[in-house]
Amino acid sequence: MKQSVINIKDFKISNNLPFILIAGPDSIESEEHALLVASEIKRITAEVGVHYIFKASYDKANRTSIKSFRGVGLEKGMRILQKIKSELDLPVTTDAHSSQEVLQIGKVVDLIQIPALLSRQTDLLVTAGVTGKPVNIKKGQFIAPQNVDKIIQKIQSTGNNQAMITERGTTFGYNDVVTDMRGLEIMKRFGFPVIFDAAHTVQFPSVLKENSGGDRTLISTLARAAVGVGVAGVFIEVHNDPDNAPVDGLNSLNLKDLKKLLITLKKIDECVK
């Protein structure tokens, strides 16, 4: 199967090209914090030689509890993402939760991300496609890898062929997700870039009273395995103080551990490709 290529800023994304990194804190906590993490990851990826897209959510609209941290909101979030994009010269991405939001964030981001729980929402996917921007769809925990072509076709129906699929685990009983590495190879057969989410695949959804749990010690293990399959990129939530992160700290990689992991992943990627 011929593999499609997506252009983001000044680099290309494809399953048979060197892997790229999508990373950042789960949520935009503040302008200062977002700029800090983005600049540090940019420095690290530049040293290692990995292309990088900054990601952080302006609103976590699908949290376990009504009490969970939501973020800074759409308007402020777009201002912060625009600042990161212009001041740090980085491509940026974020989640969209409605067709109205897609049209607004499409004016700022380089890549539109569709949350896993919304990955079958036709109107949302079609509107994302209409923007003409590349669209990264996080495969729902309830969708089989051999069925992702139906999701991609919704983007393609608009004439936009710039789709990417992100694996973020499959529901396994209650309060757990697992990664079937066979699914990465199956999804690659459709010819679109496959991204591996090394953060949410170690998550234990809704296992805590008000939040999701997770085991960040497994992030590196799963990331190495996925890159060994040969994926287009890796998605990692990265935080400078994950123990005190307001959202998903338990499945966020500590910033200080990122460089070592990327060096290892780059070696594996070079061997595979």
Q: Please name the fold of domain 6-272.
A: TIM Barrel (3.20.20)
pLDDT of residue 210: 61
Mean pLDDT of 133-147: 97
Answer whether residue 209 shows pLDDT above 70.
no
Pull the structure tokens for residue 128. Answer: 């994302």
Q: What is the pLDDT of residues 107-137, one digit of tens each?
A: 999 999 999 999 999 999 999 999 999 999 9
What's the pLDDT score for residue 65?
A: 67
Q: How many angstroms separate the CA atoms of 244 and 76, rounded?
A: 22
Q: Is the pTM of this model over 0.85?
A: yes
Give CA–CA dist 83/92, Å, rounded: 10
Q: Give the pLDDT confidence of 17-30 residue by residue, as tens digits.
A: 999 999 999 999 99
